[in-house]
Structure 1
Amino acid sequence: MAVNIYDDINKLESTFRSTEEFGKLKQAVEAVTADSDSSQLFKNFRDLQITLQQKQAQGEEITEEEMVSAQETAQAAQADPKILAMLEAEMGLSQIIDEVNRVLIKPVQSLYESM
């Protein structure tokens, strides 16, 4: 009998969307989106993060000016109560994702531990 793991993954996705943690993040994202100042500040924060990650991935050096700008943008974003609530909600959701990853990797780990 063939196993279709994707059916289970789709069910897990549906369950994931039903969690309290996902609901909190959804509400927090909606609150940031509804506030043009918060939304623009977060967009700037996210764009800067992506730009710096791309530079690092390509082996380019990040300048002192870019680091200062990144720190200032991060501080401004975290000082915004709506963005802060969204980031905290995301951390709560990340804990669930981490736990799912731990559970999924257990069979692989046990194979190697048996060597």
Structure 2
Amino acid sequence: MNVHDKAYELANAIKTSTEYQDMKESRAQVDQDSSSKSLLEDFRLRQNELQQQMAGGQMPPEEEMEQLQKLYEQLALNPRINQLFDAERRLSVVLEDVQRIIAEPLQAMLK
């Protein structure tokens, strides 16, 4: 058994999963609406900036965190974006499960 071949099989299984397809379709719907797309891009940009600050050891000001939370809440009122957020959450759960399963052999070895 070749581990790399199995990894490619897993990647293909993820791409054909309902969760991935739902997210891809939801993303396409958001991209077709210029207003929704612009709002989402602004949110993602702000989100990435704050995450980079935290990764660099800086805690962003609470005001910026609150603004991002409020923006998220506003975006969630947009049906297209809310559907995308939901699809992303479902795919994230699948990927977290896969990560946990893959990590099991390493965890067992470290015990």
What whole-Å deviation, never above 9, does each CA across 1:12-70 have from its counterpart, x for those lacking one?
11111111111111110000100111101110110000111112222334234423321
Where do residues 32-47 of structure 1 align in structure 2 (5 Å cutoff)? 32-47=30-45
Give structure 2 stretches of 5+ with no counterpart: none
**C-alpha spacing 1:58/1:109, structure 2 compared with 1 (3 Å):** closer
Supply the distance in 2 between the matched residues of 1:71 and 1:50 (Cα, whole angstroms): 13
Distance 1:82 1:41 in 2: 11
Give the aligned partner of residue 98 of structure 2. Answer: 100
Percent same amino acid among aligned pairs?
Answer: 30
1:82-101 residue CA offsets vs partner (Å, 9 max, x unmatched): 11101111111112111211
Q: Report how many aligned residue pairs link the two structures.
A: 111
For residue 22 of structure 2, what is the amino acid of its counterpart?
K
- Code of the residue aligned with 1:11 in structure 2: it is E
RMSD: 1.6
Q: Where do 1:1-115 residues align within 5 Å?
A: 4-113=2-111
Counterpart Cα distance in 2 of 1:61 and 1:21: 33
Q: Distance in 2 between matches of 1:7 and 1:27?
A: 28
CA drift of 1:112 comes to 3.1
Check whether the contact 1:45–1:70 (CA below 8 A) recurs between aligned residues: yes
Gaps of 5+ in 1: none
Question: One-letter code of the match for 1:75?
Answer: E
Whether the 8 Å contact between 1:44 and 1:73 is mirrored in structure 2 is: no
Q: What TM-score, normalized by structure 2, do the two folds share? A: 0.88
Name the amino acid aligned to 1:36.
Answer: S
